[in-house]
Every structure is written in structure tokens, then in C-alpha cells.
Amino acid sequence: MFDRELYKEIWQAIVANKTRSILTAFGVFWGLFMLITLYGAGKGLQNGIEAEYSENAKNTTILRTSRTTIPYGGFRRNRWWNFKNSDVEALNKQYPDLYVVPRILPWSNTGASYNLRTSDCDVVGEYPITTKVEYIKIVKGRYINEMDIRERRKVCVIGPRVRDNLFPNGEEPIGKSIRVGSAYYTVVGTYNVKGNIGLFFDPETAVRIPFTTAQQTYNYGDNVSMLIVGAPEEKSISDVEDEVMRFIRSRHRDVSPDDNDALQHLNLAKTFGQIMKLFLGVNVLIWLVGLGTLLAGIIGISNIMLVIVKERTQEIGIKRAIGATPGSIIRQIMTEAVLITVVAGYLGLVLGVLLNEGLGVVLSGSDSIFLNPGINLGVGLICLAILIVAGAIAGLLPALRAVKIKPIDAIREE
């Protein structure tokens, strides 16, 4: 039940020592402010990275050939080898439930140009199935289709930075011919991207052309630069990754099936999982720092309450002499400690949330991956519970010491 006289007495004690009360409360305020600010900032960064790669298929592995490390089939070690078109066909036949996406990455590009405008670019040979494993949002026009592949058309889909450099101020790019190196391509689409983990090129500066066109134009024959193998949601790519790589190596007479180093691979599921584990570690560190700072503030409150008990020795003795129970003495001291802790902590909580919200508003329109910083209801309730428990603990020791004071000794205290 609310005891007005009790809280009036506590308020008078706080007002009578304003400076001490403010400094005492500041430790708790700063501890919770630091905890909320750091937690919100970490959450904002995590949200940004998750959003950056949320649309990309993370259940994929990227494969590239490397030098052989084992002599095999009469061939020496340290040889380069290549994926072939036949490898793609064999993988599709052997693993019909997987997405097998071949890609060409020519090294001979010299930039893109249109009229007198130029832009750096990466030429990439693609299949329509690329959209199964990579986030590609068509803004205008269309993406590469099967007809482009069959007829080896000189068409392209350009990334946002190439579009802005070659066609500024909203100029229409669709249907225009751009020069890439010594070749000309007709723009059939523009796109936006989200994330570029493991792509080995910048999707914002990519000029994507049909895979078959890239092989023909850049004299790749039937070679393939890269394979992206994706699995449906109900199946983990990690379960079949080793099997797929061994299957590919077994198809090449110059590569040992046991030569693991001859085939580089990047498992995006594992990579993304490692990033999330990193954030778990960051969150643990944030809680340790915040709670450590908060604990220092709580210890400060407990020490100050001990001083207050010392100062009020005569007052406590008089109360005990006129009939005050030990429970009422404990209640008063613990209530004062809880009140200071909760009020200071609540202010730290509110200001921390406001700071995170402000940062979210400021950065919302930028290219930053810092997204929606702040805390959820569960974290807020945990903080509230910590405040109440901490305040009670901070007041418990001084309260127990107060009730041990004998009334006659307290009255004699000068």
C-alpha cells in the first residue's frame, strides 16, 4: 500500500542533500545509459547487415578453381584448370534439386561509355537463374532471358552506379547502346542490388550480359569462371557441399578427387552464420560493459546509504525507542535506495532510447548499414527488473546494519 508519509520523508532526505543524491544517482544513470546506447547501436548494425543480405540466398556455396596441389593422371602439380559447360550439365543431372548457376568474369573489360560519359564496370556473363541465388531488383526493363542465351544477343543489364554515371538526371537508358571495351551492348534493363557478399565483383558497377555472349565475345570457349550452387530452403547446402566438389573434381582427368585445395569454395550459409555469431559476442560484451558500469553505480548507492545510516543513527534510535519495528526501518532504507536507483536508471533508459531513435532518423536516408537502432520490449523489461533488484540489493546491507543499532546506543550517538 502506498505510504505518503514514507515517501515524503524520503523526498525530504533527498532534497536535503541534493548534490550527494545527484552524484549517487549518476552512476546508475550512466550505467544504464551506456548499456542501452551500446545495445541499440549493436542492434542497429546487426539489423543493417541482416537487411543488406536478407534478400540474397544465403543457402549457397560459391566455387572457383585454383592451382592443383597433387600430381594426378600424368599431370604435374601447380596447374590451372577450369570448369566446363559440361560440368554444369552434369551437376544439373546429378543434383536436380539444386540451383547450379554458372558465371563468366572476364578480366579484359576497360570500362563502359556512352556518348562522352564513362563509368568503371565489371562485365559479368549470367544466366536467368542467377536471380535464384542473388537479390536483383529490376528497376526498368527486364533481366537476361533464355532467348538472349540461345541467340547470344549483345544485350546487357546495368547496375545502379553504371546507370547513374552513363545516364544521369533520369535519362532513359533502355534501348541505348553502350560501349564496353571494344564491344557494344544494348541496355535492356537496370537493377538495384542489396549486398555483395562473396560475389568477387561489385554488383553496383556490373554490366551483366548473357553467359553465352560472354563466352563468345571474350574467347572463353566452353570454360566457366565460377559456379554458384544453391539449395532449396528445406535442404542445407552444407550437407552436399563436399559431395558436389568431389563430383566436380572426379570429372576432370587432370585433377585428383582428393585435391581439396584445387577447388576454392565460399559457403555463404557458414559465412553469414559466423557474422551472426560475431554479433552474439558483441552483444555479450555490451551487456558485460553495461552491467559492469551499472554495478559500479549500485555499489556507490550502497556505500552512500551506509553513510546515510551512519548520519541518521540518532534518528533511527529514536524511532526504535518509540516503537518502530525493524521491518519499518528496513522498508524505509530499502525504499529510498530502490527509488534513487529506479528513477536514475529510468532516465538513463529513456535518454538511451531517444539517442538511438535520433541516430536511426539521421541515418535512415543515407547509405549506412546502420538500421533501426533501439531496444525491444523484452530488453526494456529486463532492464526494469535489473533496476528493481539492484535497488533492493543496494539498500539491503545498509538496512540490515540499521536494525542492528541498539536504541540506547543510537540516542547517545553524537
Q: Provide CB contacts within 8 A for 68, sequence distance 6+.
A: 75, 77, 78, 79, 81, 254, 255, 256, 259, 262
- Cβ-contact 206, 122 below 8 angstroms: yes
Sign, CA dihedral 344-349-354-359, equals: positive
Q: Write down the mean pLDDT value for the chain.
A: 81
> Of 332, 346, 340, 343, whose CA–CA distance to 304 is shortest?
340
Q: Which long-range contacts (CB under 8 A, 24 or more apart) does 330-333 make?
A: 330/399, 330/400, 330/402, 330/403, 331/6, 332/6, 332/9, 332/10, 333/305, 333/308, 333/309, 333/395, 333/398, 333/399, 333/402
Of 16-30, 137-151, 241-255, 329-343, the range with the highest mean pLDDT is 137-151
> Of 251, 154, 259, whose CA–CA distance to 209 is shortest?
154
Using DSSP bridges, classify how beta strands 263-267 and 60-65 pair: parallel, antiparallel or unpaired: antiparallel
- CA angle in degrees (0–180, nearest 5) for 251-255-260: 100
pLDDT for the residue numbered 226:
92
120-149 average pLDDT score: 92
- Cβ-contact 207, 159 below 8 angstroms: yes
Q: For the segment 137-178, what is each residue's pLDDT rounded down to a tens digit? A: 899 999 999 999 999 999 999 999 999 999 998 899 999 999
Q: Phi, psi (5° rounding) for residue 141? A: 75, -135
Residue 393 has pLDDT above 60, yes or no: yes
DSSP state at residue 213: H
Domain residues of the chain, as ranges? 4-54+273-412, 60-267
> Of 53, 88, 92, whose CA–CA distance to 269 is shortest?
53
For the chain, how long is the longest CA-to-CA vector? Answer: 105
43-47 average pLDDT score: 80
- Cβ-contact 14, 7 below 8 angstroms: no
> Of 225, 255, 230, 254, whose CA–CA distance to 241 is shortest?
230
pLDDT for the residue numbered 295:
76
Q: For the segment 85-98, what is each residue's pLDDT rounded down to a tens digit? A: 999 999 999 999 99
Which three cell numbers, joined as nine digits, stand for 167?
545516364
Residue 414 has pLDDT above 60, yes or no: no
> How far apart, in Å, are the Cα atoms of 75 and each of 79, 296, 379?
8, 68, 61
239-267 average pLDDT score: 89
In this structure, the number of other CB atoms found within 10 A of the CB of residue 115 comes to 10
Of 27-31, 221-225, 361-365, 402-406, the range with the highest mean pLDDT is 221-225
Q: Provide CB contacts within 8 A for 154, sequence distance 6+.
A: 183, 184, 185, 186, 209, 213
Residue found by looking up cell 543480405 in the block: 53
pLDDT for the residue numbered 1:
45
Looking at per-residue confidence, does 329 or 120 come out higher? 120
Q: For the segment 173-222, what is each residue's pLDDT rounded down to a tens digit? A: 999 999 998 899 999 999 988 766 556 788 888 999 999 999 999 889 99
- Helix 18-53 to helix 377-403 angle (10° resolution) is 150
E-assigned strand segments in 155-304? 155-158, 177-180, 183-193, 206-210, 223-224, 226-230, 263-267
Return the amino acid letter for 253: R
Q: For the segment 263-277, what is each residue's pLDDT rounded down to a tens digit? A: 988 888 787 777 778
> Of 164, 219, 151, 157, whose CA–CA distance to 185 is shortest?
157
